[in-house]
Amino acid sequence: MKKILTLAIASLSLFGAISPAHSGLGEAATDSNAKGYDAWCGKKGNDCNVKFVDGRIIVNDKDSLRFEDITYITKNGEYTNMWTTSWVTTFGVEYVEDGMTEPEFAQFLFANQGAANRFWTDLRRACRKCKNRDATQVEVNIKD
């Protein structure tokens, strides 16, 4: 009986050492899409891969932008063919990197709506310090 009890305790100890450790919210925690998103960059048909890794948006494993450089994001959808209900979602990213005097704007387009919804979730996570993306934006210049 002692051998069975010892074997059971040893098995549970081994299982505890092998199972992955979770912190924070444990198994509820999610990572962004590790392999990235297949999208069109800039315009329809311009294939690219977009990843959210280590505080950066990376395009085609070569061009990247820090999350904190993002100033504004947009999301728009439009039918491309109303007879087949083809839908394309376009995401806009305005950013200002160190040394830039004017913001630049990038676009990512998706025909796959499931991927578009996941991309939007990751983009909003990346843009935590952006202007309120759900409100109408008005710039006011006040002279001293």
Query: What is the arithmetic mean of pLDDT over 34-57?
Result: 92
Query: What is the arithmetic mean of pLDDT over 54-60?
Result: 94
Query: What is the arithmetic mean of pLDDT over 88-107?
Result: 92
Of the candidates 104, 105, 113, 128, the one whose C-alpha atom is nearest the C-alpha of residue 52 is 128
Query: Model confidence at 129, in pLDDT bands (50, 70, 90)?
Result: confident
The highest-level CATH class for domain 35-133 is mainly beta
82 compared with 49, residue with greater pLDDT: 49
Residue 131, pLDDT above cutoff 90: no
Q: What is the pLDDT of residue 130?
A: 72
Mean pLDDT of the chain: 78
